[in-house]
A and B are shown apart, each in its own frame.
Chain A
């Protein structure tokens, strides 16, 4: 994985010194809150309902066991013994003291981590396929490009005060596990007919109060132009993006209001001006960065005899493996989802002890490498099939062996009103209740692939717009009310879910979800027709009728 060079380390160290001094001046009263707030946000420090919150960047979701142990240490020493993994593949701590933040940042820097650009109107952490570098369907590892974007976008003087925040996502596989079409810029690695590596570029996707699927702005962008073209898009956005209204300031609104064809013309014109300049990527530099992400020394002759025997002899292990083990590009290996969705648990939360257990497992069985997925789980990218039973045993011991990846209890939920200053309704208790309701292993397997995503306000941090079943919490007359959307998706067939009808009270929403699921089970063409496929085939009507009766 990527290691800091002297520039990275110096940059992070300088920032810590600068922000530590800003915190000191704030606590002494030399800075007031209006002056300090933009500074703390640039360094990942929010003020939430109960306390400050610190969001720590996990670049493109990749980290090693030493970094995970440090996160555990921070959770235990400065927080309440746990952390929350987010849909931006980052981690948040919910209870730090402002006065402790400088010490926390120093500890993070010891393991090449920081909290820079995890908030504010700048380019945020580039997210990537959590199976990057391992998936068997991948054209190329997207992380070297995500790292190049990180280097280019860190403290970029031109893009530090954008109209609004800006998010990149990148996938190296045709099957999109990174939700690229609901990002400001989404990149998909492709090969040209001549065999050259490049990108399909999507622009103007996003969720929030105006959910829009991104438009394809370029069929094929040569590798060497990754940054020049990104810069061209950002320049056009920075120039024309609206600053008069916060809710219309994302690039998706610019794309929507201007039209993709006109905007493409602007972007291409800007691109032509700069494409052969300093931003042209030197091939040898790309190859150099790629070496940081090289596959570990996996043995292509690794067998699966032990795995086959253990699967045959242990139904619990086999059931877990069926859902949480993913094909690897090297024979005899697999990637593993470590579910942070125990039945009735808090999606994305991990205790310090669990983080340490995961770090130990990664060190022993996955070449010291871990990923955070945007679906709020952890991933062991490179595990020998014949080690899987040992990994499973270790996960069982750490209460992390739920075999529910991609099932109805593998829910994305934002922190909601239990933590968040912006939220209007609670998310996590709804996720917990759904998880309990459908927690039976046979039941959720019979239902099959089904993604539920829950947001506690219109900002859509819980990705409800792209949930197969989406739930949006709102406040109506002082009560929590939950709107149901159906048919959303965040893969290569991205779609925005449609609101099915009037909302449900907090004590009725889980029944409504169950009604939708039971309706699906009755109408599906066969056991293999997923909820999303069935919904796309039959539309709203049967679900509306089941929920609200005939009009």
Chain B
């Protein structure tokens, strides 16, 4: 069985963009940049940082989610979170998956 790790995620207040808590308290727009939380102490620290970000009106709707490591990245356990990380499953031209494919086309 794969080890379950955690990420902290939210939506950015001003534009609603899905974000994850990255290193040094920064909020990042792609799940690959998220800080992977391996133990309870790391989760606690991340949730405290998220609570500060909510109080500072940077983000809303904070949640801690389960992920597994796959290759060099992580994949959320729940479909809901996989859809938040990518975009609508039937329109790959929308959401983060669209930006990802635009970036790879440009490369």
Contacts and interface: CB of A to CB of B under 8 A. Distances in A.
Contacts of B16: 47-48, 50-52, 95-98
Interface string A69-91: 00000000000100000000000
Given A47-B61, A346-B90, A418-B89, A27 B14 contact: yes
Interface stretch (B20-28, B39-47, B73-81): B73-81
A417 B90 contact: no
The 3 closest A-B pairs by CB, nearest first: A51-B16, A97-B15, A29-B57
Contact of B14 (A49, A80, A98): A98
A51 B15 contact: yes
Given A50-B18, A51-B15, A98-B14, A429 B60 contact: no
**Residue among A26, A27, A49, A428 with most chain B CB within 10 A:** A49
A27 B57 contact: yes
Given A32-B57, A33-B54, A49-B83, A98 B15 contact: yes
A33 B80 CA distance: 23
B11 A418 contact: no
Interface string A16-30: 000000000011110
A453 interface: no
**Residue among A417, A426, A432, A480 with most chain B CB within 10 A:** A417
B14 A99 contact: yes
Contact of B11 (A47, A417, A432): A47
A95 B80 CA distance: 17
Contact of B84 (A27, A28, A49, A428): A49
Interface of B is mostly: loop
A315 to B, nearest CB: 32
A419 interface: yes
Contacts of B60: 33, 47
Contacts of B83: 49, 417-418
Contacts of A47: 11, 16, 60-61
Nearest to A49: B84
A195 interface: no
Interface string B24-64: 00000000000000000000000000000011110011000
18 contacts: A26-B13, A26-B57, A28-B57, A32-B55, A32-B57, A47-B11, A47-B16, A47-B61, A49-B18, A49-B80, A51-B15, A96-B16, A417-B79, A418-B83, A418-B88, A426-B79, A432-B90, A478-B78
Contacts of B77: 478
B79 A27 contact: no
Given A32-B55, A52-B15, A478-B78, 12 more contacts: A29-B56, A32-B57, A50-B18, A50-B87, A80-B94, A95-B94, A98-B14, A418-B88, A418-B90, A428-B90, A429-B90, A480-B79
A478 B81 CA distance: 12
Contacts of B11: 47, 51
Contacts of B18: 49-51
Interface in A139-189: none
**Residue among A28, A47, A51, A428 with most chain B CB within 10 A:** A51
Contacts of A417: 79-80, 83
Interface in A414-459: 417-419, 423, 426, 428-429, 432
Given A27-B57, A480-B79, A426 B15 contact: no
Contacts of B80: 49, 417, 423
A30 to B, nearest CB: 9
Interface string A92-115: 000111110000000000000000
A243 to B, nearest CB: 25
